Chain A
Amino acid sequence: MREQTKASPADEGFRKELMSVLPHLRAFARGLSGRSDFADDLVQEAAIKAWTARDRYQAGTNMRAWTFAILRNHYLSELRRNKRETDLDEGAAERMLVMEADQEGPLHLGDMEAALQQLAPERREAVLLVGASGFSYEEAAEIAGCPIGTMKSRVARARADLARMLDDDPEKMLASRSGR
């Protein structure tokens, strides 16, 4: 810990900025893991890591991107350690059954969540970063530590997967919209 460190204006600014991104970190962690309790643990641990590493943060750069990368890396190492995926997949599969029976209805957030959890992990991460959090491909690639082209193709595949799972008949809708 940093008992000897006095609260500097820079630290105070950092703390405020860090606090302001917490809701986004929670949303990202929830989307990644599909579990709210696990997600909140991840966010808290990532926030403490970010705080501890605050000397490495360059003021004026993107706090959200910086903390997302920390959270993401922490999540992956926790996954490797805990192998929590197993019960997560079961829960998601259960919800998928409900979703398929209800295709006519409007899209429910539970359906969306279930579909998201069906995606391959790297596609889920990609579509969360670009499609939900609003990062650019470049920022998302940096967060995920992959080339930008890889990020683009992951997002494209995630979108196609989600469209297939969630749009009742994409081809028909497509045809009617384009007047064919």
Chain B
Amino acid sequence: MTGTDDRSKGASERELVLNQPNGRNSAGNVRKFPPEVRPAPGQEGEPGWASGLRKLYNSVVDEPLPDSFQDLLKKLDDSDDA
């Protein structure tokens, strides 16, 4: 991993905050962030598991809906078309 020098200014400021010693495991630090500045997916400077958790989650979000959901669409359609 490289330093933060070569990153754009906004990004490196955020990195700096995230790289504070107790930014990794202590949720006491994390909870200071309002939702809009929470680390973005895949952001460096956070524990691997944190991005792993989002990757896991997003891997499901990105899956196409299984065929079984076609029936669901129909059920909802039926109840409002009838």
Contact = CB atoms under 8 A, between A and B. Distances in A.
B63 interface: yes
Nearest to B72: A44
A165 B48 CA distance: 11
A166 B49 contact: yes
Contacts, number: 135
Nearest to A7: B80
B11 interface: no
A23 B21 contact: no
Size band of the interface chain B makes with A: 35 or more
20 contacts: A2-B80, A3-B79, A7-B81, A11-B80, A26-B61, A27-B58, A40-B69, A44-B68, A44-B69, A109-B55, A132-B56, A134-B38, A136-B34, A152-B27, A155-B27, A163-B25, A163-B49, A170-B25, A174-B22, A180-B21
Interface of A: 1-8, 11-12, 15, 18-19, 22-24, 26-28, 30-31, 40, 44, 47-48, 51, 106-107, 109, 111-113, 115-116, 127-128, 131-137, 152, 155-156, 159-160, 162-163, 165-167, 170, 173-174, 177-178, 180
